[in-house]
Amino acid sequence: MNVEQLNREFGLPKLLTFFSDESGLILADLAGGQARLCLQGAHLMHWQPKGQAQPVLWLSREAKPVIGKSLRGGVPVCWPWFGARSAGGPAHGYARTVPWQVAEAKPLSGGGVRLTLYWDQTEHPSWPHACRAELCIEVASDLRISLTTTNTGDAAFELSEALHTYFHISDIAAVRLHGLNGVGYWDKAGGGTEFCTQEGSLSFTAETDRVYVNSAATCVLEDPGLKRRIVVEKQGSLSTVVWTPWVDKAQRMGDLGEPDGWREMLCVESGNALENTLTLQPGERHGFQVHYQVA
């Protein structure tokens, strides 16, 4: 569908408007501008609920929508695999760079909106499995995102997934992450071969890349600089990934914003990865949901 067709069929006055940017990609403004989404990748780029002086999601200053490329920041959808894959294909899957379709749009009480998108997979060089991915986003004073996968083919397949959420923070050295005490994790920054157990809350003084497994724990990101706490509550997800690149890796990556854009972001990702990877049988359906609140 083009912009005119989308607005005619799914647009909601003051709640949901579709438009095309200079790249030719289609974007959507939700809940009166509180959120913005790119249909390529079903990528939520921005969320700033009323009453918040700063966005809750971080988007690199270098990030501009480009056909066929993922954006640095917001909430990328990692699907149908998380991380690198021995069988080949792009890191974190290909869902971030394909055009998703709109399935439904509904107003919510209090001025919010629910937008549902889907991607039907029938054949792909990296993924020879028939399946459907569905992403539902509810934007209001809080944010809810669910990702559901259905095996529509005749053979089982393995599925790993994540909502790769980048949070906007005051300074990485000042924030703390609570909720993972006692949870085991794989230390990818340390090479990925060491399994450790979290002791207490997390503070950050160097590159951190950890996959916490076998836990549905709620996380709380405490940010004294912005005087707020971001609560990340999830269901159907047993993995939490915590990532900050720190200075050396940020400089090598080159797309985190100059001069110190990396200091203003922290990824707290919800999903299912490593030993929490799923196997979906033909006809089987799996979904997970994440609820984000700001206090």
pTM here is: 0.95
Catalytic residue among 161, 164, 233, 264: 164
The SS3 assignment for 5 reads: helix
Which two three-digit tokens encode residue 249?
Answer: 């890796």
pLDDT at 63: 82
Q: How many domains is the chain partitioned into structurally?
A: 1
Count the residues in the chain: 295
- Is 269 catalytic? The answer is yes
Digit-by-digit pLDDT tens for the chain (295 residues) are: 899 999 999 999 999 999 998 888 999 999 988 999 999 999 999 999 999 999 999 999 888 888 888 889 999 999 999 987 877 778 888 999 999 999 999 999 888 999 999 999 877 777 889 999 999 999 999 999 999 999 999 999 999 999 999 999 999 999 999 999 999 999 999 787 889 999 999 999 999 999 999 999 999 999 999 999 999 999 999 999 999 999 988 888 877 777 788 999 999 999 999 999 999 999 999 999 999 999 9
pLDDT at 61: 86
Q: What is the CATH number of the domain that holds 91?
A: 2.70.98.10
Please, what's the largest Cα pairwise distance for the chain?
A: 53
Inter-CA distances, 115 with 11, 139, 185, Å:
10, 8, 33
Half-sphere exposure (Cβ direction) of 1: Cα atoms closer than 13 Å: 18
How many helices (H) and strands (E) are present in the chain, helices listed first?
Answer: 2, 22
Please, what is the Cα angle at 143 between 104 and 102, to 5 degrees? 20
Which two three-digit tokens encode residue 291?
Answer: 């609820």
pLDDT at 187: 94
Give the residue from 208, 140, 144 showing the smallest Cα distance to 175.
208
- Is 164 catalytic? The answer is yes
Which two three-digit tokens encode residue 125?
Answer: 């060089």
If one counts every other C-beta atom within 10 angstroms of the C-beta of residue 140, the result is: 19
CA dist 112 and 140 (Å) reads 4
Domain limits at 133? 3-294
Identify residue 212 by its one-letter amino acid code. Y
